[in-house]
Structure 1
Amino acid sequence: MKTLIKNVYAVMPDGSVPKTNILIDQDRIVGIGPVSDDFHPDKIIDGTDHLAIPGFVNAHTHTSMTLLRSYADDMALMDWLNQMVWPAEAKMTAEDIYWGAMLAMLEMVRTGTTTFADMYGPWMEKVAEAAIDAGLRGVLSRGIIGAAPDGEKKIEENVTLFQEFHGAADGRITVMFGPHAPYTCPPDFLKKVAKTAQSLNAEIHIHMHETKTEIQDSLQQYGKRPFEWVAETGLFDGKGTLAAHCVHLNDADIAIMKKYGIRAAHNPGSNMKLASGVAPVPRLLQEGVCVALGTDGASSNNNLDMLEEVNLAAMLHKVHTYDPVAVPAFCALQMGTEYGGKAVGVKDIGRLEQGYKADITLFDLNSAAWCPRNNLVSLLVYSANSSSVDTVLCNGKVLMENHVLKTLDEERILFEAQRCANHLTK
């Protein structure tokens, strides 16, 4: 199927925003510019008064955690996990995982996200099914807690997830291995994860250096910071690593990230809400480290709105460094799109460019937040909000057009998600 998005403002890889046309054949962008006489579209989307960007990439989240949104707020991280979140998650069934994920899919489509990197507990196949049903692109990992008695079983569940879903849905599903964090996975256990993942040529998704306590406990237990001893396990020697948070870093940590090509998923909203700290994003970008953006789970953010994370990334580092150009608007947008694609290991998403996947989000410019149109990228990052998203394509397929969902039954999802949440939290 051929699709034409005509007469649209498009954010190009160099930051320019021409009024142009986007030509799509099947799942890829085949041209940006004039429409040739031999291109006969099956579908035309009128892009007049719309801004096209690459679909947002949520580089770190826990989709089914949407069921715990607003359940446990204003708590310290470890108290939040141990006293509230983990006990509730222990009651989750496969049905809960599916409908929690579907609630996340609904929110992500509505807010312009087309790719997400997810780490969660059992029944991750249900998250894969939800992503497939929604039409989104998912990079999935089974969250593995090695300190638990069934740690070995969790590794095998990740293997099964990889074998059954890696490359599924025309390549929309990718599977990584998800050792939760250094404080839940001892060194010998991480060696087993590394060996298993590398035998399948699979990448790693792990939480790293989220809190000061994590660093202090590691120094007390191992005499080393987490990045140092995790590197010694061989976990970073494989195909690639996506490290969530990376808040508390020193020179040696950054050197390790550069040595192994580790990509960071910065979660400004979650880090602010949990008072985890401020990641050294400007420094990482200057050092050539790939820094993407994630929302984290909806119980620590409390939404999956990537445009909000783009705004926070641009604003937070300005005030933290007292530098108004620390993270400019276009750089923040790249972190939520192009750098996100690199971070989650999907090489051909995140840019409006010939040959890239047709993962595209359109914003309606007909509102006060978009007027006057002096600089559309600046308006997107600093002024607009995700209610302007009205059309979303993933892999060339229209998931939402003019605010009308094409793949999701919103009324049923909201009903089922509330029903599942009730038995978990009440």
Structure 2
Amino acid sequence: MSILIKNGYVIYGENLDVIRADVYIEGNRISKVGKNLNIGADYVIDARGKVISPGFINAHTHSPMVLLRGLADDLPLMEWLQSYVWPMERKLKPEHIYWGALLGIIEMIKSGTTAFVDMYFHMEGVAKASEEAGIRAYLSYGMVDLGDEEKRNAEIKETLKLLEFIEKLDSSRIEFFFGPHAPYTCSPELLKWVREKADESKKRITIHINETKDEVKQIKEKYGKTPVEFLDELGFLKSDVTAAHGVWLTDREIEILAKKGVTIVHNPASNMKLGSGVMPLEKLLRAGVNIALGTDGAASNNNLDMIEEMKLVSLLHKVHNLNPTLADARTVFKMATQNGAKALNLDAGAIKEGALADIVVIDFNKPHLRPITNIISHIVYSANGNDVETTIIDGEIVMLDGEVLTIDEEKALDKVQKIVDELR
């Protein structure tokens, strides 16, 4: 299939140069970018007054948690988890996970996300939903053993089952990740097993680290080291690790992360809502750590809108550091695109010839996005996910003029409502 997007403002290349141009897609890749392209195509999209942007990469979320959206707000993390989230999650069945993931994926597609990293359970349902919807997904089973050997063996079995399922699915868009939950919920034995299997299978790893003061204290008391030092001593940290949060990091830990090439995924909305703290963004940037962006789950955000997340990153760090130049629009935009692609070793995140065609069209024909002056600034500070009009993933149009083409949105909305009404 071929697609020609004409007359748009194109955010071109790694330098984010904004040019007036057309974009021609052939198969699943960007073939040409240039002015007045006179090429026949199966689909022609007029992007006059619109912006052609790389798709956004949600590098950390829990998509089925849309089922828990609004379940328990304005609570401390552990009370939120122990009294509300975990009891509800114990009721969730594979069918529930499938429909929750499908609704979350619809939300992501409609707000311009073209790829996401997910960690949860019953992940075969998430894989199925991702494949049907046409989104690019990196899926992990969240492993928790709490030092219990029997539990560890069960978690390993579930992980290998997901790996086999995804390999049999044989999709170019669905990838497997190992997903040990966090150092405070996973034993050294489980973490070592993950590292060995990741090396052996050439699969990547996602994990939570240093989200709260309490978990850092817990690891220090148990192992005499900070979480990053503990993981480093195990030989766990390599450039294939994508670590979510990284709120309470010491200078020494930042140094280790930079040296090992670990990506840190910033989740500002979740960190603020749960009162977890503020990630040391300035220090991480100065150290050269790759920083991607994620929404976390819809129970702690409460949406999956990556455009909104960009604005929150920028404003949070400006006011926290009393520095209006920190977390500038271009830096934050790269976190949501190029840096996420780097973390996934994905040939996307920038619009250029030869790259994968993961592209969104944002409608700037709206009062809050005019006059058109600084496009990157407008996306970060003025736009929101509802301004995304068209989403193209792997060269396929999955949303056109605001309508998702691959799945029945109304059916998903109704089904999820019925599920939640029955569970509560």
Structure 2 counterpart of 1:136, which letter?
Answer: I
Aligned to 1:414: 413
Hey, what's the Cα distance between the residues in 1 that align with 2:386 and 2:191? Answer: 42
Structure 2 counterpart of 1:34, which letter?
Answer: K
CA contact (8 A) 2:295 2:304 kept: yes
Matches of residues 139-154 of structure 1 in structure 2 within 5 Å? 139-147=138-146, 149-154=150-155
Map Cα deviations across residues 298-328 of structure 1 (whole Å, 9 max, x no partner): 0000000000111111111111111111111
Structure 1 counterpart of 2:345, which letter?
Answer: V
| 1:126 positional shift | 0.7
Map Cα deviations across residues 110-139 of structure 1 (whole Å, 9 max, x no partner): 111110000002x20110010000000001
Matches of residues 82-161 of structure 1 in structure 2 within 5 Å? 82-121=82-121, 123-147=122-146, 149-161=150-162
Matches of residues 235-254 of structure 1 in structure 2 within 5 Å? 235-237=236-238, 240-254=240-254
Aligned to 1:183: 184
Query: Identity of paired residues, percent?
Result: 43
CA contact (8 A) 1:21 1:33 kept: yes
Aligned to 2:199: 198
Aligned to 2:35: 34
Asked if 1:220 corresponds to 2:232, the answer is no
TM-score, scaled relative to structure 1 = 0.96
CA contact (8 A) 1:314 1:328 kept: yes
Matches of residues 268-283 of structure 1 in structure 2 within 5 Å? 268-283=268-283
Hey, what's the Cα distance between the residues in 2 that align with 1:167 and 1:56? Answer: 27
Hey, what's the Cα distance between the residues in 2 that align with 1:406 and 1:169? Answer: 22
Aligned to 1:43: 43
Hey, what's the Cα distance between the residues in 1 that align with 2:366 and 2:345? Answer: 34
Give the aligned CA root-mean-square deviation in angstroms.
1.4
Hey, what's the Cα distance between the residues in 2 that align with 1:350 and 1:157? Answer: 31
Structure 2 counterpart of 1:222, which letter?
Answer: Y
Structure 1 counterpart of 2:59, which letter?
Answer: A
SS at structure 2 position matched to 1:18: strand
- Shift of the 166–252 alpha-carbon distance from structure 1 to 2, 3 Å rule, reads farther
SS at structure 2 position matched to 1:138: strand
CA contact (8 A) 1:167 1:173 kept: no
Map Cα deviations across residues 325-368 of structure 1 (whole Å, 9 max, x no partner): 1111111111111111112x132011011111111111111111
Hey, what's the Cα distance between the residues in 1 that align with 2:161 and 2:352? Answer: 35
Query: Greater CA deviation, 263-272 or 277-286?
Result: 277-286
| 1:166 positional shift | 4.4
Map Cα deviations across residues 250-289 of structure 1 (whole Å, 9 max, x no partner): 1110111112110011000000000111101122122111
Query: Greater CA deviation, 56-65 or 159-168?
Result: 159-168
Structure 2 counterpart of 1:317, which letter?
Answer: H
Structure 2 counterpart of 1:256, which letter?
Answer: I
Matches of residues 350-361 of structure 1 in structure 2 within 5 Å? 350-361=349-360
SS at structure 1 position matched to 2:129: helix
Hey, what's the Cα distance between the residues in 2 that align with 1:315 and 1:6? Answer: 33
Hey, what's the Cα distance between the residues in 2 that align with 1:167 and 1:23? Answer: 32
Gaps of 5+ in 1: none
SS at structure 2 position matched to 1:142: strand
Hey, what's the Cα distance between the residues in 1 that align with 2:220 and 2:181? Answer: 19
Aligned to 1:5: 5
Aligned to 2:52: 52
SS at structure 1 position matched to 2:372: coil
CA contact (8 A) 1:132 1:169 kept: no
| 1:35 positional shift | 5.4
- Shift of the 48–168 alpha-carbon distance from structure 1 to 2, 3 Å rule, reads farther
| 1:168 positional shift | 4.8
Aligned to 1:377: 376
Query: Greater CA deviation, 175-184 or 383-392?
Result: 383-392
Map Cα deviations across residues 53-112 of structure 1 (whole Å, 9 max, x no partner): 111100000000110000011111111112211111111101001000001011011111
Structure 2 counterpart of 1:288, which letter?
Answer: G
TM-score, scaled relative to structure 2 = 0.96
SS at structure 2 position matched to 1:17: strand
| 1:407 positional shift | 0.7
Q: How many residues align?
A: 421
- Shift of the 265–167 alpha-carbon distance from structure 1 to 2, 3 Å rule, reads farther
Hey, what's the Cα distance between the residues in 1 that align with 2:170 and 2:198? Answer: 22
Hey, what's the Cα distance between the residues in 1 that align with 2:295 and 2:191? Answer: 25
| 1:199 positional shift | 2.1
Gaps of 5+ in 2: none
Hey, what's the Cα distance between the residues in 2 that align with 1:117 and 1:351? Answer: 18
